[in-house]
Amino acid sequence: MEQDPERKRRVILGYREIIEDAMEVHEETERNRTNVTRILNVIDRAQNLGKHVKTSDEAILDAKVISISSQVLKQNAEILNTNLKSYNVKDYTDNIVHFVTNDQRGRTSGVNWERLVSSTKECFKYRTQSLNCMYGAFTIGETSTASKKVPKKRERIQEAKKKEPESEVKKLEKQEDAIEETLRYILKLLFSEWNKNNHKPMCYFKLVVNPDSFGATVENIFHVAFLVKDCLVDMHI
């Protein structure tokens, strides 16, 4: 038996107001986004009030709100389907052209694509659907285990050991060591000049260009490129 008549009175009055608002939306002849927003607000209010429902007559009022709201949403969905069938490409493109060539006050201006982007970007914030293959899933064949990547220096040395005599292997190792020694020298020189110059960047062309030797200039560019690739030196344009 109801122990709190004041609570019941508030709940019933609340539902009557909600039903009245729902019926007002339902009786409107024009179906648009505003109607959907209003009926969603009605559903939210009914959901909050439903937490206080304790008797059968209160539950009946709640069910009536849901019934009216469902009818409104169904009618709007049917109108939406009808509008989709009457879609006209020319009207669509004309509206886009008018939108990007006129400002918010209706004045004609240049083409403003940023206005279109800012107005439509919220429509593309969700994840795209997963890819479905037209001919079904791919057949998984035999997979080969990826071999561990061997550093280029060791790879070339091992290749030389297989194809060339021992003397050629040693020659290749000495060549690699000479390049690394040159890179260490250039890096040391860069740090020294960088510290002397109060940590200001050096001119790339002053560093690599040798006015007396084209070959030396090419070698300098080659060596500095190695330092940049190994992230030991930063280059900015």
Is the same domain home to 162 and 225? yes
Question: Is 65 in contact with 15 (CB distance < 8 Å)?
Answer: yes
Question: Is 210 in contact with 216 (CB distance < 8 Å)?
Answer: yes
Last residue of a domain, one of 85, 115, 140: 85
- Counted domains in the chain: 3
* pLDDT above 60 (res 9): yes
Spatial separation of the C-alpha atoms in residues 25 and 33, rounded to whole Å:
12
Spatial separation of the C-alpha atoms in residues 28 and 202, rounded to whole Å:
74
Q: 78 falls in which pLDDT band (50, 70, 90)?
A: confident
- Does 130 reside within a domain? no
More confident residue, 223 or 156: 223
More confident residue, 113 or 88: 113
What phi and psi values does residue 208 have, to the nearest 5 degrees? -100, -25
Question: Is 35 in contact with 25 (CB distance < 8 Å)?
Answer: yes
Question: Is 37 in contact with 70 (CB distance < 8 Å)?
Answer: no
Residue 127 pLDDT: 59
Last residue of a domain, one of 85, 104, 134: 85
Is the same domain home to 168 and 216? yes
- Does 203 reside within a domain? yes
Residue 137 pLDDT: 55
Q: 171 falls in which pLDDT band (50, 70, 90)?
A: low
* Chain centre to alpha carbon of residue 67: 39
Average pLDDT of span 13-28? 88
* pLDDT above 80 (res 161): no
How much of the chain, in percent, has pLDDT values that exceed 90? Answer: 2
Is the same domain home to 193 and 225? yes
Is the same domain home to 169 and 224? yes
Spatial separation of the C-alpha atoms in residues 159 and 175, rounded to whole Å:
15
Average pLDDT of span 148-168? 61
* pLDDT above 50 (res 1): no
What phi and psi values does residue 94 have, to the nearest 5 degrees? -65, -40
Token pair 């035999």 in the structure block, residue = 142
* pLDDT above 70 (res 164): no
- Does 94 reside within a domain? yes
Give the range among 31-35, 102-106, 118-122, 176-180 with minimum mean pLDDT.
Answer: 102-106
- Does 13 reside within a domain? yes
Residue 100 pLDDT: 83
What phi and psi values does residue 108 have, to the nearest 5 degrees? -70, 135
- Does 28 reside within a domain? yes
Residue 219 pLDDT: 86
More confident residue, 157 or 75: 75
Q: Count of CB atoms within 10 A of residue 25's CB?
A: 21
Helix, strand and coil in the chain, % to nearest 5: 65, 0, 30
Is the same domain home to 51 and 80? yes
- Does 139 reside within a domain? no
* pLDDT above 80 (res 40): yes
Host domain of residue 119: 89-124
Coil/strand/helix, residue 102 = strand
- The DSSP symbol for 237 reads -
Is the same domain home to 195 and 219? yes
* Chain centre to alpha carbon of residue 26: 39
- The answer to whether the Cα torsion of 128, 130, 135, 141 is positive or negative is positive
**Which runs of consecutive H residues, i.e. helices, occur in 86-165?**
89-100, 113-120, 152-163
- Does 174 reside within a domain? yes
- Does 93 reside within a domain? yes
Average pLDDT of span 155-166? 62
Q: Work out the mean pLDDT of the chain and round it to a whole number.
A: 77
